[in-house]
C-alpha cells in the first residue's frame, strides 16, 4: 500500500543510488534490485566494505554513527540521486529496566545516524535535481513490543525525522519516502520466531513506491493493520501483540 503525493514520479533506471547497511539482509536486497532495475551506479555502503559481496556495486565505507565517515561518503558519492537509509540496529532492550547504553546505541544508529546521512546528502541531492530519500522504518515505529521498546522508541523518532525532513526538503524537490514493514526473513530478525515476510518482496514494494512518487509505503498487511489501529485505543493493539499476533 502506498500513499501518493504531488512529487513527480521517479525512475530508478539511470539513477545513482546509495544504500546504507548494504552488505547483508534487506540492504543487500535493495542494492541487488536497484541494479536489476537499471540503476546506473549503486554504492553499497557498510561499516566493513570488504564484506560487500554483490557483483556490480561500488563498496563504500560508512558507519552512520561516525561523522567523519558520513562526510567522506557524501564527498565520494557526489553523484547520488537516490539515498536508501537502511542501516539500523536493535538490542532487544526494554526502556524501564533494560541496559540504558543499549537504548542509547539504538537511538544513535536509527535516529542520529539517519539524520547525519540525510544532512550530508541533502545538498548532494539538491545539486543533482532533487532526488529521493527512502528511510527504512518499521511497523514498530507505531507500536510497542515486549522486550524491544528501545528499538520502538528509536524507530518512532526516525519516523518523526522522516516526516520532518520531508517538509524541509520539499522546496528543493526531494521526495522523502518512509517504508514501514513487519518482520522479514533476514539476519536482523533471526532471533524472532514469528511469521516473517520475504525481503525481496518488501524491497520490490518499496522501489515500486518510489517510482510511484509515494510519501509512504506499507510493505505488508501487518504494517497496514498497525497504522489503522492508531486511530483506536492503543491498549487494543498492545493486547493483540501480547496475545501473539506478531
Specify the pLDDT at position 239.
Answer: 77
81/172 Cα distance (integer angstroms): 13
Residue of higher predicted confidence among 196 and 28? 28
The one-character DSSP state at 57 is -
Judged against a pLDDT cut of 70, whether residue 194 lies above it is answered with no
Query: At 149, is the secondary structure helix, strand, or coil?
Result: helix
Pick from 216, 215, 204, 219: which is nearest to 12 by CA? 204
Name the range with the highest mean pLDDT among 60-74, 136-150, 190-204: 60-74
* Contact between 203 and 36 (Cβ < 8 Å): no
Q: Which residues contact 243 (CB under 8 A, 6 or more apart)?
A: none
Segment 24-47, tens digit of pLDDT: 999 999 999 999 999 999 999 999
Judged against a pLDDT cut of 50, whether residue 5 lies above it is answered with no
Residue of higher predicted confidence among 1 and 201? 201
H or E segment and range at residue 58:
strand 58-61
Q: Which residues partner with 180 through β-bridges?
A: 218
Pick from 174, 164, 178: which is nearest to 209 by CA? 178
Judged against a pLDDT cut of 70, whether residue 130 lies above it is answered with yes
Buried b (16+ CB within 10 A) or exposed e, 107-139: bebbbbbbbbbbebbbebbeebebbbbbbbbbb
Q: Quick one: pLDDT band at residue 244, thresholds 50, 70, 90?
A: low
The C-alpha cell of 140 is what? 514498530
Judged against a pLDDT cut of 50, whether residue 223 lies above it is answered with yes
57/20 Cα distance (integer angstroms): 12
Question: Position of cell 563498496?
Answer: 59
* Contact between 93 and 99 (Cβ < 8 Å): yes
Q: Quick one: pLDDT band at residue 151, thresholds 50, 70, 90?
A: very high
Pick from 31, 6, 151, 145: which is nearest to 84 by CA? 31
The C-alpha cell of 174 is what? 526531494
Segment 53-92, tens digit of pLDDT: 999 999 999 999 999 999 999 999 999 999 999 999 999 9
Amino acid at each position: 500500500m502506498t500513499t501518493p503525493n504531488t512529487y513527480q514520479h521517479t525512475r530508478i533506471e539511470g539513477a545513482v543510488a546509495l544504500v546504507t547497511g548494504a552488505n547483508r539482509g534487506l540492504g543487500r536486497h535493495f542494492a541487488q534490485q536497484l541494479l536489476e532495475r537499471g540503476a546506473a551506479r549503486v554504492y553499497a555502503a557498510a561499516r566493513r566494505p570488504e564484506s560487500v559481496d554483490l557483483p556490480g556495486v561500488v563498496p563504500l565505507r560508512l558507519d552512520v554513527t561516525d561523522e567523519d565517515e558520513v562526510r567522506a561518503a557524501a564527498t565520494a558519492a557526489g553523484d547520488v540521486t537516490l539515498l536508501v537509509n537502511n542501516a539500523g540496529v536493535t538490542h532487544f532492550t526494554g526502556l524501564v529496566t533494560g541496559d540504558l547504553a543499549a537504548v542509547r546505541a539504538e537511538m544513535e544508529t536509527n535516529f542520529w545516524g539517519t539524520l547525519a546521512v540525510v544532512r550530508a546528502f541533502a545538498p548532494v541531492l539538491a545539486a543533482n535535481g532533487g532526488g529521493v530519500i527512502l528511510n527504512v522504518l518499521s511497523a514498530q515505529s507505531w507500536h510497542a513490543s515486549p522486550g524491544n521498546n528501545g528499538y520502538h522508541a528509536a524507530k518512532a523518532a526516525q519516523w518523526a525525522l522522516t516526516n520532518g525532513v520531508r517538509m524541509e526538503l520539499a522546496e528543493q524537490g526531494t521526495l522523502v519516502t518512509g517504508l514501514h514493514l513487519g518482520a522479514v526473513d533476514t539476519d536482523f530478525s533471526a532471533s524472532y520466531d514469528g511469521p516473517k515476510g520475504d525481503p525481496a518482496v518488501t524491497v520490490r514494494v518499496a522501489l515500486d513506491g518510489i517510482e510511484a512518487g509515494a510519501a509512504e509505503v506499507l510493505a505488508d498487511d501487518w504494517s497496514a493493520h498497525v497504522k489503522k489501529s492508531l486511530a483506536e485505543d492503543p491498549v487494543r493493539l498492545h493486547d493483540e501483540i501480547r496475545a501473539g499476533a506478531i
